[in-house]
């Protein structure tokens, strides 16, 4: 779980929202019955090579906090999973690419990954890792 601001509050120096985030993480883990969520992680370093290998996914507090670095690193393959909806919703992280639509130039990897993740989420045998 990423912190709300770029420094995750710096222990209260830049805000105290990390206290609320920590409480929410603890509550969610308690409800699930195991430690699934960690954080809050410092968002501006979460996508560095050292940090990104430690977690299968990041939960961002708002759209550009997660998608901007993710697109910069994995534009052709990354996906978005919306949580808390009554339906399963996944999507490619890139736009509609109207400029190359119907030209057979688009890379479909992100779309394929979004469909695979939706199928995985809908299955009864949910694995711990993402696509």
Alpha carbon dihedral 79, 84, 85, 87, in 10-degree steps, equals 70
Ramachandran quadrant class, 39 (left: phi over 0; alpha: psi -120 to 50; beta: rest): left
Of 106 and 8, more confident: 106
pLDDT in tens, 32-63: 999 999 999 988 888 888 887 788 888 888 88
Where are the domains positioned within the chain?
1-74, 77-131
Strand ranges in 35-85 using DSSP code E only, listed in sequence order:
79-82
pLDDT at 101: 82
pTM (2 d.p.): 0.70
Distance CA 82, CA 88 (A): 8
Is the model's pLDDT at 116 over the cut of 90? yes
Q: Return the H-helix or E-strand segment holding 89.
A: strand 89-92
pLDDT tens profile 63-89 = 888 888 888 888 889 998 888 889 999
pLDDT at 131: 38
pLDDT digits (tens, 9 = 90+) for 87-103: 999 998 877 778 888 89
Q: Residue 129: what pLDDT?
A: 43
- Nearest by Cα to 44 from 2, 15, 94: 2
């Amino acid at each position: 779980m990423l912190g709300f601001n770029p420094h995750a509050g710096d222990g209260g120096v830049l805000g105290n929202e990390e206290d609320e985030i920590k409480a929410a993480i603890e509550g969610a883990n308690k409800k699930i019955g195991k430690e699934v969520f960690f954080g809050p992680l410092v968002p501006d370093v979460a996508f560095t090579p050292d940090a990104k290998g430690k977690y299968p996914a990041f939960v961002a507090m708002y759209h550009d906090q997660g998608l901007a670095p993710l697109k910069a690193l994995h534009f052709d393959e990354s996906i978005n999973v919306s949580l808390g909806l009554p339906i399963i919703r996944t999507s490619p992280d890139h736009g509609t690419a109207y400029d190359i639509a119907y030209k057979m130039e688009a890379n479909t990897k992100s779309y394929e990954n979004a469909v695979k993740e939706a199928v995985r989420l809908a299955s009864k045998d949910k694995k711990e890792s993402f696509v």
